[in-house]
Chains A and B, each alone.
Chain A
């Protein structure tokens, strides 16, 4: 018998606890009321934690922004390899609440990893990452050669 659930590495993502059965009705109501965009996020149930990610480009740099609420700075890893940037990390639940009764559990805890292929070369030694208000911003300055240049042509 074949299973239709996508294979994932054990331990990489945990199936979220749906809480008490009575909450299930609330959850269904929430799904029906949610805008369509919100529904797409339920795919997280199958793939683990997929933080929203944006990539921007201006003439000097590429900027990657990821929504990573409630992490510790030291639990975020940013790495560069072969023209790709990988953002990874682990979010841990609050230890002080481990004995509390869970009434509702929608937040994801565990590991995430996302990789972006950069459209052009970057100056590896000038990459900066900044984490504030639950948003990770990675600035990747372009190499001098990759920046657009204006060539002046004098016409006589």
Chain B
């Protein structure tokens, strides 16, 4: 499982600016776990699309603007977006997404036929 380059996903490339979220990807015998950091995004602001073995994560910031004048600002207002190419072993029907305190956790199980199994010797 790896991120696609912008070139590969150019047909769907949006005209507006996005931030690429930081991700961690783990692999176990059961499947993959992907964590993406999107502070300011909640369940309602999340858009996950699966198409042609590519998964697109988009996070729209939901946090309300703070009243007053900004004295100092490091955060950016742009939404998050990142595209990943999926390992063909992933069972796309069983992908589960969870959002907790600005971290999206995707659980991508491998399909039963590719999971390692012990073969009994008669």
Contacts and interface: CB of A to CB of B under 8 A. Distances in A.
The A interface, classified by DSSP as helix, strand, loop or mixed, is mixed
Nearest to B62: A133
Nearest to B40: A135
Contacts of A34: 20
A101 B101 contact: no
Interface in A84-114: 94, 97, 99-108
A43 B2 CA distance: 24
A52 B75 CA distance: 5
Contacts of A65: 63, 66, 75
Contact of B25 (A68, A104, A135): A104
Given A58-B69, A67-B40, A69-B102, A107 B35 contact: yes
Interface in B44-81: 62-63, 66-76
Contact of A102 (B2, B26, B74): B26
Interface string B28-49: 1000110101111110000000
Given A97-B33, A133-B101, A104 B70 contact: no
Interface residues of A, number: 46
B88 interface: no
A104 B23 contact: yes
Contacts of A144: none
Interface in B76-110: 76, 100-103
B71 A57 contact: yes
B23 A58 contact: no
A107 B22 CA distance: 6
A134 B33 contact: no
Contacts of B112: none
Contact of A33 (B2, B5, B68, B103): B5
Contact of B73 (A54, A116, A131): A54
A100 B108 CA distance: 14
Contacts of A35: 17
Contact of A71 (B19, B26, B72, B101): B101
A77 interface: no
